[in-house]
């Protein structure tokens, strides 16, 4: 078999015999190529690619020709001259075929450089240009060229998508391992938010003793071409002989996986769609972690603190647990804290969340201690948190929670007058679970055009599922109002939107909180779909006293003018939000005066708040 140097020599001499005016320059470049000799490392790299991608001898020769332009200055110049450029350049398809000892005709060009040819299909070369195929340029991608030059580092685009593997053997791991053992090229892992899809895939690969590369398409830059990035990942796995575990796989075209020479485990929150242009793969559902499984992952990071139900109840995936643990350890160390507290863990979990926060101060946090409510309402909020923390335990017992095709989500209605703590309670639910709060902006949802409101709502539900955030509908009665008798087209389509919401809420696997000032305005059909209906009444006198004490706690109070909390709780019959406003106004007045907060400041704030609300102020005694 002729070496590439010998084939280059033959091509140069054939052109020289025909009176080629670049013969002298080509011979000089050829001498340098011949002097370099055969590179053993390059030969080994070509052999590895041939084995990994199942190439034939002809495809390997073509790849060697195309790569010659990347390997040396002399090779770059010589290939450009042979292509008729008169300067360094990449080989044309015709030149590559000639140097590989193949016919330089259209049939051969289609066979070896068409879209379905192994070299192009597997991303080892691309064909650039818009001229006829024989005149187009053969380009070796940067990563393949780097591999041939001995570079084992993936491209920057690939590195930005990689995740650390956290193997966790859960139900379905053995089935996944069996599928890979049987030679399945694509397995679809259906993992809802917080599911152990990637961890299960990693555990299956470990069981088989094969390495895997885990990439998350959710990390893609908005301007990135998904198909190009997926091909880069497939090439990288092909070069290294590793299984590709692709998280958020629904973002790529399903037929992209047919370009892989290695098995692909596609992890997605969406089920496989039979309409996708690819053969139906094996689908394996990925369960959510139990509390015990989460605790075993937390233990190496937190030690004794890992047993806290407050931490193990957070609905995090294995990879998220590791990321949160590392972030919490780092930030605790930087803040000079001894050990990692539960509050630090919750803060890091919120930092990890990608939801649409409604906090003006992203670093703020609230807990059940900040929620001053009557015992009945506080008990219901606490019970809801218990449901959220132990939901996965209940789901693992059987299909009761999601029976009949329903989702395993949790939905609550917080109803009551303004200022009674509904929005604060939604924050407490999210913060206690280490989740972010995704507030639905009704102005971006409701659309006058038919069908657009449903599309906007679907986008909201999908984003909340993808970001594992608490979905919060404030002023929910504007969207979840009662259906009415159909008198015209407007009524029919309004009812259609409510019917869609009823169906979509049953399929949602996350946590939804609806807040409304007017509970009676909601459609009665929502009641069955609500797991909690929490009434937030106007505070009674004991609750108002606790509210005043809670908001005044920690403030410097004027000893000569003490705040009369007893009189305030008895005489000022306003909600908690109004009490907070009055305390805040008092603090500003005291700071402006350069003194501590006194009853004179609070009394003035009480008077102003009542006037603002159109109510008669109480007489201060």
pLDDT of residue 359: 45
Name the token pair of 49.
């690619």
Q: Is 113 a residue whose pLDDT tops 70?
A: yes
Give the closest residue to 195 by CA, choosing from 287, 291, 321: 287
Most confident of 186-190, 219-223, 405-409: 186-190
Domain shared by 275 and 314, yes or no: no
Which SS3 state, helix, strand or coil, does residue 369 take?
Answer: helix
Distance separating alpha carbons of residues 124 and 138, to the nearest angstrom: 10
**Mean pLDDT along residues 59-82:** 92
Distance separating alpha carbons of residues 314 and 350, to the nearest angstrom: 11
User: pLDDT for 463-481, tens place per residue?
Assistant: 777 667 788 888 776 666 5
Phi (first) and psi of residue 231, to 5 degrees:
-65, -40
Residue 347's domain spans which residues? 291-352
Domain shared by 346 and 325, yes or no: yes
Give the closest residue to 34 by CA, choosing from 10, 61, 52: 10
Segments of 367-500 assigned E as strands: 410-415, 437-439, 470-473
CATH number at residue 388: 3.40.50.300
CATH number at residue 305: 1.10.8
Domain shared by 237 and 178, yes or no: yes
Percent of the chain with pLDDT over 70: 87
User: pLDDT for 246-265, tens place per residue?
Assistant: 998 888 887 788 888 999 99
User: pLDDT for 192-235, tens place per residue?
Assistant: 766 788 999 999 999 999 999 999 998 888 888 888 899 999 99
> Which stretch of DSSP H or E encloses residue 188?
strand 186-190
Domain shared by 26 and 102, yes or no: yes
Grade residue 239 by pLDDT with cuts at 50, 70 and 90: very high
Domain shared by 217 and 316, yes or no: no
Residue 361 covered by a domain: no
Domain shared by 197 and 322, yes or no: no
Neighbour count for residue 364 (Cβ, 10 Å):
12
Residue 560 covered by a domain: yes
Q: Is 362 a residue whose pLDDT tops 70?
A: no
Segments of 154-223 assigned E as strands: 186-190, 212-216
CATH number at residue 588: 1.10.8.60
pTM: 0.74
Domain shared by 448 and 559, yes or no: no
Domain shared by 112 and 58, yes or no: yes
Grade residue 484 by pLDDT with cuts at 50, 70 and 90: very low
Give the orientation angle of helix 4-17 with respect to helix 57-71, to 10 degrees. 80
Q: Is 133 a residue whose pLDDT tops 90?
A: yes
How many domains would you assign to the chain?
5
pLDDT of residue 470: 87
Domain shared by 76 and 186, yes or no: no
**Mean pLDDT along residues 10-14:** 89
Q: Is 314 a residue whose pLDDT tops 90?
A: no
Residue 136 covered by a domain: yes
Name the token pair of 295.
């605790």
Pick from 304, 320, 352: which residue ends a domain? 352
Domain shared by 432 and 511, yes or no: yes
**Mean pLDDT along residues 157-184:** 91
Residue 362 covered by a domain: no
Residue 113 covered by a domain: yes
> Looking at 206-220, 337-351, 581-595, which range is the least confident one?
337-351
Distance separating alpha carbons of residues 92 and 540, to the nearest angstrom: 85
Distance separating alpha carbons of residues 540 and 573, to the nearest angstrom: 8
């Amino acid at each position: 078999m002729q070496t590439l140097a010998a084939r280059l020599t033959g091509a140069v001499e054939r052109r020289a015999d025909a009176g080629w005016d670049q013969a002298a320059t080509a011979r000089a470049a050829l001498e340098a190529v011949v002097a370099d000799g055969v590179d053993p490392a390059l030969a080994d790299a070509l052999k590895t690619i041939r084995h990994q991608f199942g190439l034939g001898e002809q495809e390997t020769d073509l790849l060697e020709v195309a790569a010659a332009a990347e390997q040396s200055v002399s090779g770059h110049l010589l290939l450009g001259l042979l292509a008729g450029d008169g300067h360094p350049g990449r080989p044309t398809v015709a030149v590559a075929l000639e140097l590989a000892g193949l016919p330089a005709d259209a049939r051969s060009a289609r066979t070896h450089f068409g879209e379905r040819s192994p070299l192009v299909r597997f991303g080892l070369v691309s064909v650039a240009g818009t001229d006829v195929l024989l005149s187009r340029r053969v380009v070796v991608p940067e990563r393949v060229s780097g591999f041939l030059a001995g570079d084992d580092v993936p491209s920057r685009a690939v590195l930005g998508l990689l995740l650390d593997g956290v193997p966790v053997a859960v139900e379905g791991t053995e089935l996944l391992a069996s599928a890979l053992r049987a030679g399945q090229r694509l397995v679809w892992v259906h993992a809802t938010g917080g599911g152990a899809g990637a961890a299960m895939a990693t555990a299956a690969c470990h069981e088989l003793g094969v390495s895997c590369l885990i990439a998350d398409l959710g990390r893609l830059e908005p301007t990135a071409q998904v198909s190009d990035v997926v091909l880069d990942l497939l090439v990288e796995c092909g070069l290294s002989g590793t299984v590709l575990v692709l998280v958020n796989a629904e973002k790529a075209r399903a037929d992209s996986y047919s370009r892989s020479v290695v098995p692909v485990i596609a992890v997605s929150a969406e089920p496989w769609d039979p309409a996708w242009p690819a053969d139906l793969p094996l689908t394996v559902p990925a369960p959510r972690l139990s509390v015990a499984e989460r605790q075993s992952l937390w233990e190496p990071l937190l030690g004794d603190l890992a047993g806290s139900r407050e931490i193990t109840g957070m609905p995090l995936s294995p990879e998220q647990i590791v990321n949160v643990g590392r972030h919490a350890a780092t930030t605790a160390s930087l803040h000079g804290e001894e050990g990692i507290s539960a509050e630090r863990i919750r803060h890091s979990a919120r930092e990890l969340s990608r939801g649409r926060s409604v906090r003006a101060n992203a670093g703020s946090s609230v807990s059940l201690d900040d929620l001053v409510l009557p015992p009945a309402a506080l008990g219901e909020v606490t019970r809801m948190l218990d449901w959220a923390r132990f939901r996965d335990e209940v789901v693992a017992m059987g299909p009761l929670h999601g029976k009949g095709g329903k989702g395993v989500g949790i939905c609550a209605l917080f109803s009551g007058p303004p200022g009674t703590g509904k929005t604060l309670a939604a924050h407490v639910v999210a913060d206690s679970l280490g989740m972010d709060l995704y507030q639905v902006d009704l102005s971006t949802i409701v659309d006058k055009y038919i069908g657009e409101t449903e599309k906007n709502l679907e986008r909201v539900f999908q984003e909340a599922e993808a970001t594992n955030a608490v979905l919060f509908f404030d002023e929910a009665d504007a969207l979840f109002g009662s259906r009415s008798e159909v008198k015209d087209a407007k009524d029919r389509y309004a009812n259609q939107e409510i019917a869609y919401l009823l169906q979509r809420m049953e399929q949602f696997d996350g946590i939804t909180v609806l807040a409304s000032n007017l509970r009676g305005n909601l459609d009665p059909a929502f009641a069955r779909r609500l797991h909690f209906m929490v009434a937030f009444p106007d505070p009674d006198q004991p609750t108002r006293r606790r509210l005043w004490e809670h908001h005044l706690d920690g403030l410097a109070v004027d000893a000569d003018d003490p705040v009369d909390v007893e009189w305030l709780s008895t005489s000022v019959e306003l909600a908690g939000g109004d009490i907070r406003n009055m305390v805040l106004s008092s603090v500003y007045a005291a700071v402006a005066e350069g003194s501590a907060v006194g009853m004179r400041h609070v009394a003035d704030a009480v008077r102003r708040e009542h006037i603002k609300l159109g109510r008669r102020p109480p007489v201060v005694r």
